[in-house]
Amino acid sequence: MEVINTSGRRKTSVARIYMTAGQGNITINGKDIKAYFPDEVLQTIVNQPFQTLELIGKYDVTANLKGGGVSGQAEALRLAISKALVVENAETKSALRKEGFVTRDPRMVERKKFGKRKARRSFQFSKR
Protein backbone atom coordinates (compact mmCIF):
# COMPACT_ATOMS: atom_id res chain seq x y z
CA MET A 1 0.00 0.00 0.00
CA GLU A 2 1.28 3.43 -0.90
CA VAL A 3 0.93 6.59 1.18
CA ILE A 4 -2.57 8.08 1.21
CA ASN A 5 -2.62 11.86 1.60
CA THR A 6 -5.87 13.57 2.69
CA SER A 7 -6.99 16.59 4.69
CA GLY A 8 -9.84 17.43 7.03
CA ARG A 9 -11.18 20.67 8.47
CA ARG A 10 -13.33 21.72 11.43
CA LYS A 11 -13.94 25.32 12.55
CA THR A 12 -10.53 26.93 11.94
CA SER A 13 -8.51 23.70 12.34
CA VAL A 14 -6.83 21.97 9.41
CA ALA A 15 -5.49 18.41 9.54
CA ARG A 16 -3.22 17.04 6.80
CA ILE A 17 -2.49 13.32 7.13
CA TYR A 18 -0.31 10.67 5.51
CA MET A 19 -1.65 7.15 6.10
CA THR A 20 0.25 3.91 5.42
CA ALA A 21 -0.19 0.28 6.41
CA GLY A 22 1.47 -0.35 9.78
CA GLN A 23 1.03 -1.11 13.48
CA GLY A 24 -1.46 1.62 14.44
CA ASN A 25 0.95 4.42 15.40
CA ILE A 26 -0.56 7.90 15.25
CA THR A 27 1.96 10.76 15.21
CA ILE A 28 0.71 14.35 15.37
CA ASN A 29 3.16 17.23 14.75
CA GLY A 30 6.03 14.93 15.71
CA LYS A 31 4.41 13.77 18.98
CA ASP A 32 2.56 10.58 19.89
CA ILE A 33 -1.25 10.85 20.12
CA LYS A 34 -1.14 10.30 23.91
CA ALA A 35 1.25 13.24 24.30
CA TYR A 36 -0.62 15.56 21.90
CA PHE A 37 -4.14 14.70 23.12
CA PRO A 38 -3.75 13.69 26.80
CA ASP A 39 -7.56 13.68 27.19
CA GLU A 40 -9.00 10.20 26.62
CA VAL A 41 -12.14 11.63 24.97
CA LEU A 42 -10.12 13.35 22.24
CA GLN A 43 -8.14 10.16 21.58
CA THR A 44 -11.45 8.29 21.23
CA ILE A 45 -12.73 10.89 18.74
CA VAL A 46 -9.61 10.43 16.59
CA ASN A 47 -9.88 6.62 16.66
CA GLN A 48 -13.64 6.43 15.92
CA PRO A 49 -13.28 5.67 12.17
CA PHE A 50 -10.93 2.77 12.95
CA GLN A 51 -13.27 1.44 15.67
CA THR A 52 -16.29 1.65 13.35
CA LEU A 53 -14.55 -0.43 10.68
CA GLU A 54 -12.68 -2.64 13.21
CA LEU A 55 -9.30 -1.63 11.75
CA ILE A 56 -7.50 -0.59 14.96
CA GLY A 57 -3.77 -1.28 14.65
CA LYS A 58 -3.73 -1.72 10.87
CA TYR A 59 -2.63 1.77 9.72
CA ASP A 60 0.05 4.27 10.71
CA VAL A 61 -1.00 7.92 10.56
CA THR A 62 1.33 10.92 10.44
CA ALA A 63 -0.59 14.18 10.82
CA ASN A 64 0.11 17.90 10.65
CA LEU A 65 -2.45 19.89 12.66
CA LYS A 66 -2.80 23.65 12.52
CA GLY A 67 -5.17 26.25 13.94
CA GLY A 68 -8.16 26.16 16.28
CA GLY A 69 -8.52 24.41 19.62
CA VAL A 70 -8.05 20.83 20.70
CA SER A 71 -11.59 19.59 20.00
CA GLY A 72 -11.66 21.19 16.55
CA GLN A 73 -8.28 19.64 15.77
CA ALA A 74 -9.43 16.20 16.93
CA GLU A 75 -12.55 16.36 14.76
CA ALA A 76 -10.55 17.62 11.76
CA LEU A 77 -8.20 14.66 12.20
CA ARG A 78 -11.18 12.28 12.41
CA LEU A 79 -12.52 13.63 9.09
CA ALA A 80 -9.11 13.30 7.41
CA ILE A 81 -8.72 9.68 8.61
CA SER A 82 -12.24 8.85 7.39
CA LYS A 83 -11.50 10.32 3.96
CA ALA A 84 -8.26 8.31 3.77
CA LEU A 85 -10.09 5.08 4.63
CA VAL A 86 -12.62 5.80 1.87
CA VAL A 87 -9.77 6.34 -0.62
CA GLU A 88 -8.26 3.01 0.48
CA ASN A 89 -11.57 1.09 0.21
CA ALA A 90 -14.64 2.78 -1.31
CA GLU A 91 -16.99 0.17 0.18
CA THR A 92 -16.39 1.56 3.69
CA LYS A 93 -17.97 4.91 2.79
CA SER A 94 -21.53 3.88 3.66
CA ALA A 95 -20.57 2.69 7.16
CA LEU A 96 -18.59 5.87 7.83
CA ARG A 97 -21.34 8.09 6.40
CA LYS A 98 -23.90 6.42 8.67
CA GLU A 99 -21.83 7.50 11.69
CA GLY A 100 -21.39 11.01 10.23
CA PHE A 101 -17.60 10.85 9.81
CA VAL A 102 -17.45 11.73 6.10
CA THR A 103 -19.37 15.02 6.24
CA ARG A 104 -17.49 18.25 6.98
CA ASP A 105 -19.19 20.20 9.78
CA PRO A 106 -19.80 23.66 8.25
CA ARG A 107 -20.43 25.53 11.50
CA MET A 108 -18.05 28.45 12.07
CA VAL A 109 -17.92 31.24 14.66
CA GLU A 110 -20.07 34.18 13.59
CA ARG A 111 -18.19 37.43 13.22
CA LYS A 112 -18.61 40.36 15.62
CA LYS A 113 -20.69 43.24 14.28
CA PHE A 114 -20.05 46.91 14.99
CA GLY A 115 -22.37 48.48 17.58
CA LYS A 116 -22.67 45.11 19.37
CA ARG A 117 -20.75 43.54 22.21
CA LYS A 118 -20.43 40.19 20.41
CA ALA A 119 -21.94 38.78 17.21
CA ARG A 120 -25.55 39.29 18.38
CA ARG A 121 -25.31 40.33 22.03
CA SER A 122 -26.05 44.02 22.59
CA PHE A 123 -24.69 46.27 25.29
CA GLN A 124 -26.71 46.50 28.51
CA PHE A 125 -29.55 49.01 28.22
CA SER A 126 -30.54 51.33 31.05
CA LYS A 127 -33.26 54.05 31.03
CA ARG A 128 -31.52 56.65 33.16
More confident residue, 1 or 110: 110
Q: What is the mean pLDDT of the chain?
A: 93
Do 46 and 37 contact (CB within 8 A), yes or no?
Answer: yes
3-class secondary structure, 94: helix
Structural domain contains residue 124? no
Structural domain contains residue 105? no
> In the predicted model, what is the mean pLDDT of residues 51-72?
93
Do 17 and 5 contact (CB within 8 A), yes or no?
Answer: yes
Please give the pLDDT value at position 109. 94
Please give the pLDDT value at position 27. 95
Which backbone phi and psi does 101 adopt, to 5 degrees? -90, -10
Structural domain contains residue 33? yes
Structural domain contains residue 53? yes
Query: Tell me, what CATH number does 19's domain have?
Result: 3.30.230.10
Which backbone phi and psi does 55 adopt, to 5 degrees? -120, 25
Structural domain contains residue 115? no
Domain that residue 25 falls in: 4-99
The domain total for the chain is 1
Cα–Cα distances (Å) from 81 to 16, 99, 101, 126, in that order, read 9, 14, 9, 52
Structural domain contains residue 11? yes
